[in-house]
Amino acid sequence: MSGLSTSAMDKRPFKGKGGSEGMSQWVLEWQHRNARALERVVRDMEAVAQESKRMPGSQWYLYLHSRKDTGQRFLMWRSYGARKHVHVSWDRMKAMLERMDASAREHYEEVNLMAQLLNAKEKAARTALNLANALLEGSEE
């Protein structure tokens, strides 16, 4: 049993005998960690979106979209064009990438993989933050 923690801890919150201040503090710390994690992911998303605009001769770039109702942020591809910038699916881009040289194709595949990873990390961080917020709201009642 050497793997078990021996640190002293107030066990009253687990027995229904008070001590909820300690539980609220744990949840508050978790909330702050999740908020910082979400901020880091969004900063990384902003950096990748900016970097995607720097490739010379590029037809596409990543756009950081925000959903106001949920707070969700996600990266999506857009194309440059004479008219309004249009969203482009990865499947449509892949067909066009086949006509490009290997280094350009690999670059876009790598950037797309990074966008998918960051979108997943944003979703996970936002979900964890929402859970912490819900726990805190429940503990204040």
Of residues 129 and 1, the one with the higher pLDDT is 129
Distance of CA 78 to the CA centre of its chain: 19
Q: ∠22-24-26 over CA atoms, to 5°?
A: 70
Q: Tell me what pLDDT residue 110 has.
A: 95
Mean pLDDT of the chain, nearest integer: 85
Give the DSSP letter string of 107-118: HHHHHHHHHHHH
Give the Cα separation of 40 and 102 in Å (integer): 32
Determine the pLDDT at residue 82. Answer: 60
Q: Whole-angstrom Cα distance, residue 121 to residue 117? A: 6
| Least confident window among 48-52, 85-89, 118-122, 135-139 | 135-139
Q: What is the mean pLDDT of residues 115-138?
A: 94
Query: Which residues, at least 6 apart from 51, have a Cβ–Cβ distance to it below 8 Å?
Result: 111
- Could you count the other beta carbons within 10 Å of the beta carbon of residue 93? 16
**Cut 0.85: pTM above it:** no
Percent of the chain residues past pLDDT 90, beyond the cut:
55
Q: Which pLDDT belongs to residue 86?
A: 85
- Model pLDDT for residues 74-126, shown as the tens digit of each residue: 999 999 876 677 889 999 999 889 998 999 899 999 999 999 999 999 999 99
Helices (H) and strands (E) in the chain, counts: 4, 3
Structure-model confidence comparison of residues 80 and 5, the more confident one: 80
Mean pLDDT for 12-41 is 78
- pLDDT of res. 24: 82
pLDDT of residue 80: 86
